[in-house]
Amino acid sequence: MANRRDFLKVSTASAGGLLLSFWLPESSPLAAQQADSLIPGTPISTAPRFNAFIRIAPDDTVTFQIHKAEMGQGTVTSLPQLLAEELDCDWKNIRTEFPAVEPEYGPMMGVFGSQSIRTSWVPLRKAGAAAREMLVETAAKQWKVDASACHTDNGFVINNSTGARLSYGSLAEAASKIPPPAEPKLKDPASYRFIGTSPKKRDTAGKIAGKTIFGLDVIRPGMLYATLQRCPVFGGTVASFDASKAKAVPGVKHVVQISNGVAVVADSTWAALEGRKALTVKFDEGPRAVNSTASLRKMFADLAAKPGATARKEGDAEAVLASVMKDSVMKDSAAKKVESVYEAPYLSHAPMEPLNCVAEVTADGCDVWASTQIQQTARDIAAMVTGLPKEKVRIHTQYIGGGFGRRGRADFIAEGVEIAKAVNAPVKLTWTRDDDLQHDTYRPGSYTKLAASLGPDGMPTAWTGRVVSQSFAGLRNGVDSTAVEGVADMPYSVPNVYVDYHNPDTGIPCSFWRSVGYSQNTFFTESFTDELAHAAGKDPVEFRRALLQKNPRLLGVLNLAAEKAGWGKPLAAGRHRGVAVVNNIGSYNAQVAEVSVEKGKVKVHRVVCAVDCGVLVNPAIAEQQIQSGIVYGLSAALKQAITMDHGRVLQANFDTYDPLRIDEMPVVEVHIVKSTAAPGGLGEASTPTIAPAVANAIFAATGKRIRTLPIRPADLV
Amino acid sequence: MAVTFKLNGKSQSVDVSPQMPLLWVLRDTLGMTGTKFGCGMALCGACTVQINGSPVRSCVTPVSTLAGKSVTTIEGLSPDASHPVQRAWAELDVPQCGYCQSGQIMTAAALVDKKVAPTDADIDEAMRGNICRCGTYQAIRAAVHTAAKYRAAKGAA
Domains of chain B, each with CATH number or no CATH: 2-76 (3.10.20.30), 84-156 (1.10.150.120)
The answer for A 55-94 residues in CB contact with B (under 8 A) is 70-74
The mean pLDDT value for B107-116 works out to: 97
Specify the pLDDT at position B116: 94
Query: In CATH terms, is domain A37-208 a member of 3.40.50.12780?
Result: no
The mean pLDDT value for A491-501 works out to: 98
Specify burial of residue A495 (Cβ count, 10 A radius: 0-12, 13-18, 19+). middle
Question: Could you tell me if A225 lies within 8 Å of chain B, comparing CB atoms?
Answer: yes
Return the H-helix or E-strand segment holding A95: strand A94-97
Is the predicted pLDDT of residue A561 greater than 80, yes or no? yes
Best residue in A76, A224, A249, A352 for a mutation probing chain B (most B CBs within 10 Å):
A352
Is the predicted pLDDT of residue A4 greater than 80, yes or no? no
Specify burial of residue A309 (Cβ count, 10 A radius: 0-12, 13-18, 19+). middle
Q: Which residue of B has its CA nearest to A432?
A: B39
Specify the pLDDT at position A325: 58
The mean pLDDT value for A503-520 works out to: 98
Alpha-carbon distance of A709 to A518, in angstroms, equals 14
Q: How many alpha carbons fall within 13 Å on the CB side of residue A571? A: 20
- B95 vs A208: CB contact, 8 Å cut-off? yes
Domain locations along chain A: 37-208, 215-287+355-430, 295-346+443-715
* CA-to-CA dists, residue A544 to A261, A382, A462, A525, B3, angstroms: 52, 49, 15, 12, 67
- A270 vs B24: CB contact, 8 Å cut-off? yes
Specify the pLDDT at position A327: 45
The mean pLDDT value for A403-408 works out to: 97
Read off the pLDDT band of B52 (50, 70, 90).
very high
DSSP-based three-state secondary structure for A508:
coil
What value does the CA radius of gyration of chain A take, rounded to a whole number of Å? Answer: 27
Inter-residue contact A651 to A609 (CB < 8 Å): no
Could you tell me which CATH class the domain A295-346+443-715 is placed in? alpha beta
Buried b (16+ CB within 10 A) or exposed e, A371-399: bbbbbbbbbbbbbbbbebebbbbbbbbbb
Read off the pLDDT band of A109 (50, 70, 90).
confident
Taking Cα atoms as reference points, which of A306, A310, A318 lies closest to residue A496? Answer: A318
pLDDT tens-digit readout, A37-76: 344 445 688 999 999 999 999 999 999 999 999 999 999 9
Is the predicted pLDDT of residue A11 greater than 80, yes or no? no
Q: Which residue of A has its CA nearest to B85?
A: A208
- B96 vs A269: CB contact, 8 Å cut-off? no
Q: Which residue of B has its CA nearest to A70?
A: B97
pLDDT tens-digit readout, A255-273: 999 999 999 999 999 999 9
How many Å lie between the alpha carbon of A277 and the closest alpha carbon of chain B?
Answer: 14
Is the predicted pLDDT of residue A36 greater than 60, yes or no? no
> Phi and psi (nearest 5°) for A180?
-70, 145
**Of the candidates B29, B102, B134, which has its C-beta nearest A72's C-beta?**
B134
Domain A215-287+355-430 adopts which CATH fold?
Answer: Aldehyde Oxidoreductase; domain 4 (3.30.365)
The mean pLDDT value for A452-477 works out to: 96
The mean pLDDT value for A388-394 works out to: 96
What percent of chain A has pLDDT above 90? 89
Q: Which residue of B has its CA nearest to A349?
A: B133
> Taking CB atoms and an 8 Å cutoff, what residues of chain A touch B36?
214, 216, 352-353, 401
Specify the pLDDT at position A662: 98
Best residue in B33, B102, B122 for a mutation probing chain A (most A CBs within 10 Å):
B33
Is the predicted pLDDT of residue A18 greater than 60, yes or no? no
The mean pLDDT value for A337-345 works out to: 97
Specify the pLDDT at position B114: 96
Specify the pLDDT at position A107: 78
Best residue in B61, B99, B111, B146 for a mutation probing chain A (most A CBs within 10 Å):
B99
Specify the pLDDT at position A717: 82
Is the predicted pLDDT of residue A108 greater than 90, yes or no? no
Specify the pLDDT at position A475: 97
Q: A37-208 and A295-346+443-715: same fold?
A: yes
How many Å lie between the alpha carbon of A189 and the closest alpha carbon of chain B?
Answer: 26
pLDDT tens-digit readout, A653-679: 999 999 999 999 999 999 999 999 999
- B43 vs A653: CB contact, 8 Å cut-off? yes
Alpha-carbon distance of B17 to A18, in angstroms, equals 42
Specify the pLDDT at position A335: 83
What percent of chain A has pLDDT above 70? 93
Is the predicted pLDDT of residue A330 greater than 70, yes or no? no
**Of the candidates A207, A273, A627, which has its C-beta nearest B95's C-beta?**
A207
**Of the candidates B29, B34, B125, which has its C-beta nearest A268's C-beta?**
B29
Specify the pLDDT at position A332: 53
Inter-residue contact A352 to A402 (CB < 8 Å): yes
Give the number of beta-carbon pairs within 8 Å between A and B.
187
Read off the pLDDT band of A16 (50, 70, 90).
very low
How many Å lie between the alpha carbon of A252 and the closest alpha carbon of chain B?
Answer: 13
Specify the pLDDT at position A23: 27
- B36 vs A401: CB contact, 8 Å cut-off? yes
Q: Which residue of B has its CA nearest to A221?
A: B31
Read off the pLDDT band of A229 (50, 70, 90).
very high
